[in-house]
Amino acid sequence: MHDEVKSAALNPYHMAVQQFELAADKLNLSEDMREILRQPKRELTVNFPVRLDNGRIKTFTGYRVQHNVNRGPAKGGIRYGPDVTLDEVKALAMWMAWKTAVVGIPFGGAKGGVICDPKKMSPAELERLTRRYATEISIIIGPRSDIPAPDVNTNSQVMAWIMDTYSMHEGFSSPAVVTGKPLSIGGSEGRNDATATGVLFVTRQAAKRIGMPLQGARVSIQGFGNAGSIAARLFHNEGCKIVALSDTRGGIYNESGLEPSSVLRHKQEQGSVVGYHRAQAIGVHDALEVPCDILIPAATEGVITATNADRVLARIIAEAANGPTTPEADEILFKKNVVVIPDILANAGGVTVSYFEWVQDIQSFFWNVEEITQKLEVIMNRSFAAVAEKADQYSCNMRLAANMLAISRVAEATQVRGIYP
Ligand code: NAD
């Protein structure tokens, strides 16, 4: 384990702005336009009391940030965690604005978060916290204004509580206010697997580009939650060998390949991948550095840095997580010829199927999983091709290319709408 990686002091918002400036320079964006696009449109901070099971009343802090909304309503997940900060939420909202633009779906960017430790809270406490937070942010969320979704430590149950709370205030059911809901209340087929499915679609394209067969390719995944565990299953089904998996407690490695469904059962019983018997134990950050062909960071921001980028052995990095690679690490990886499929493209399958869910809720007519997957593949492949073309045109990495494509689309929408009044 490399402690220096863990302790690297990274501010995700500074990182997001740095990435933005690189693309803005290349696009020759005017300073006036940069000022508009570089900061969020709205930042809402809410402090709200929640009754705990022991009778105490604890005040929590939450955020909802909307980045640019010139291309459509704001869209983005809500995360719960002890380390959530406003700067993290601002960065994630900005990345959402670029993500929806890079895949060409009509949304702006948003993100929300609550500082809490969900692992130490009962389901009843989490429900009360969620309903109160939903009420606090209901002044800016809504099916036509800002549509939340699950993110780290939130899930379809949390979305159901938000949908119910919002609907109670409206006086009628309003399924389109959130995505990632259970199927029984207007969720979409394919939403659960969407992020990982999108990661697989773009990785197929990247592998084709460098002439690497996916059959037998060695895959290492950091993070074994929603995105990571499903990616493990899908890449395993694709014929890849899953050589390493990790979570916050540590990692496991087997050069002959791990069986994702069996590791998932172990995790469900033990709460971690750690202790899985048919593997060697590795440190919490080692999944990033094991010998592999494809690395999928699927945990959190700022994990691939100037300190460890040189030790990454993969040929392709498919960023299921948001913001896993720092700008300094990007440069090192580009020089090493590592293909980094940037987060705003690689993990856009989630928001794309969220868009399908919102469309289905609004039209009250639902598609089957085959239709969803087919539509998702068209969008992911088209977006990959557009980003790859731009990267070739400018001889740059795919992050810069994706940001240029996305930012130019948002800038164009901002320009054509004009400045009010
Ligand atoms: P999750 O909470 O379900 O899973 C996160 C996993 O990462 C857990 O297994 C956790 O133990 C592990 N983890 C956290 N910090 C770690 C660390 N430092 N080292 C190793 N493991 C660590 O969350 P998720 O929904 O799977 O999201 C993971 C990432 O993917 C986030 O960056 C999120 O923003 C991004 N993402 C998720 C979706 C989605 O649909 N779930 C969509 C787009 C992007």
Query: Is the Cα dihedral 375, 378, 383, 384 positive or negative?
Result: positive
Residue 308 CA to residue 327 CA, distance in Å, equals 13
- Judge if the beta carbon of residue 347 lies within 6 A of ligand 1: yes
- Domains contained in the chain, number: 2
If asked whether residues 77 and 168 sit together in one domain, one would say yes
* CATH code of the domain covering residue 179: 3.40.50.10860
The residues with which 115 forms a beta bridge, in sequence order, are 81
- Judge if the beta carbon of residue 357 lies within 6 A of ligand 1: no
Asked if residue 112 belongs to a domain, the reply is: yes
pTM above 0.85, yes or no: yes
Given this model, what pLDDT does residue 311 score? Answer: 98
* CATH code of the domain covering residue 319: 3.40.50.720
Edge-to-edge strand list for the sheet holding 241-247: 280-282, 250-253, 241-247, 218-222, 294-297, 316-318, 339-341
If asked whether residues 275 and 253 sit together in one domain, one would say yes
Find the radius of gyration of the CA atoms of the chain: 20
Given this model, what pLDDT does residue 149 score? Answer: 97
Q: How many residues does the chain have?
A: 421
Write out the residue range of the structural domain in which residue 155 sits. 2-16+41-185
Q: Is 111 a catalytic residue?
A: yes
Q: Return the ligand 1 atom nearest residue 247 CA.
A: 21
Single out the catalytic residue among 111, 181, 241, 390: 111
Asked if residue 371 belongs to a domain, the reply is: no
Find out whether 360 and 338 touch, Cβ atoms under 8 Å: no
Instruction: Measure Cα distances from 39 to 36, 66, 90 in Å.
Output: 6, 10, 8
SS3 letters across 374-401 = HHHHHHHHHHHHHHHHHHHHHCCCHHHH
If asked whether residues 236 and 175 sit together in one domain, one would say no
Provide DSSP, 191-257: HHHHHHHHHHHHHHHHHHHTT--STT-EEEEE--SHHHHHHHHHHHHTT-EEEEEEETTEEEE-TT-
- Judge if the beta carbon of residue 225 lies within 6 A of ligand 1: yes
Given this model, what pLDDT does residue 116 score? Answer: 98
Query: Ligand 1 pocket check: which of 95, 273, 282, 347 to mutate, most ligand atoms within 8 Å of Cβ?
Result: 347
If asked whether residues 208 and 333 sit together in one domain, one would say yes
Given this model, what pLDDT does residue 10 score? Answer: 78
What does pLDDT average to in each consecutive run of 10 residues of the chain (421 residues)?
41 94 97 97 98 98 98 98 97 98 98 97 98 98 98 96 98 98 98 97 98 98 96 98 97 98 98 96 97 97 96 98 95 97 98 98 98 98 98 97 98 97 97
Asked if residue 28 belongs to a domain, the reply is: no
Choose one of 346, 380, 399: the last residue of a domain: 346
Asked if residue 299 belongs to a domain, the reply is: yes
